Structure 1
Amino acid sequence: MSATDTPTDTTTLTLTETAADKVRGFLVDQPDVDEVALRVAVQAGGCAGFRYALFFDDRQLDGDLVETQHGVTLRVDKMSTPYLHGAVIDWKESLEASGFSIENPNASGSCACGDSATF
């Protein structure tokens, strides 16, 4: 489990600097900001069979992959790690919508909403 500040070849997923800025902005008002991490997970459900979950979490689970990128701590549970290897989390903003997007080379398909994937 590495604790680097920028993505490396052994990084499971990459958080862009734009996405990290947004995460830090959301965390500004958190009382224990040093204890909170962005948890990224793949869960059963969604239109295509699996859905991505991003949420703030102060727990450290057995087998978590923990990395720090651009000043943001990321946690990925051991079941989600293989599904997220090589994925990139970015923040997209347009007139129509804004939010996190995940580009995942492991997904064989997705639905129109972009929040779920097939593996």
Structure 2
Amino acid sequence: MTTTDVNAGTTTTETPEGVALTDGAATKVRALLAGAERDDLALRIAVQPGGCSGLRYQLFFDERELDGDVRADFSGVNVVTDRMSAPYLMGATIDFVDTIEKQGFTIDNPNATGSCACGDSFN
């Protein structure tokens, strides 16, 4: 399913599993992959124990294929989530922001009931 936020001017594509990647995030990932000069990498999104709120997001490039991976393609970007992380990420939207105040990937996750002050972890 693809949705467009007319006010923000962004398009988001959602997989049946519920993870979404905005066009801005897909563009940034494609640029990073082009700089790495590798076509065998996927963006892996995982939830790991840690941080002051109990869980923390991990985004990294990965060449591995793990048993039970949930795979999706967003405008040519392969996105992979392990089966243990997938329930925590259902309905989450991953974006890339580049402003004076902040630069980096952001995750808007409706499953997070709270987060720490630094915003790096959630519960």
Same fold (TM over 0.5): yes
After TM superposition, the runs of 4+ consecutive aligned structure 1 residues lying more than 4 A away are none
Q: Which has the higher contact order (CA 8 A, sep 6+)?
A: 1
Once residues 23 and 49 of structure 2 are traced to their aligned partners in structure 1, the CA distance between those partners, rounded to angstroms, is: 28
Once residues 23 and 56 of structure 2 are traced to their aligned partners in structure 1, the CA distance between those partners, rounded to angstroms, is: 23
Aligned equivalent of 2:80:
75
Structure 2 gaps, min length 5: 1-11
Q: CA deviation at 1:28?
A: 0.7
1:114 equivalenced with 2:113 (yes/no): no
Aligned pair in 2 of structure 1 residues 9, 97: CA closer, same or farther (>3 Å)?
A: closer
1:25 equivalenced with 2:26 (yes/no): no
SS in structure 2 at match of 1:56? strand
The aligned runs of 1:82-97 (5 Å cut-off) are 82-97=87-102
Length, aligned pairs only: 112
Aligned pair in 2 of structure 1 residues 108, 77: CA closer, same or farther (>3 Å)?
A: same
Once residues 9 and 75 of structure 1 are traced to their aligned partners in structure 2, the CA distance between those partners, rounded to angstroms, is: 11
Aligned equivalent of 2:53:
48
Q: TM-score when scaled to structure 2?
A: 0.85
- Once the two structures are superposed, residues 66-99 of structure 1 have per-residue CA deviations (whole angstroms, 9 ceiling, x without a partner) of 0001210000000000000000000112112200
SS in structure 2 at match of 1:86? coil
Q: TM-score when scaled to structure 1?
A: 0.88
Q: CA deviation at 1:113?
A: 1.6
Q: Percent identity?
A: 52
Is the Cα–Cα contact under 8 Å of residues 14 and 21 in structure 2 kept in the other structure? Answer: no
Larger deviation: 109-118 or 55-64?
Answer: 109-118
RMSD of aligned Cα (Å): 1.4
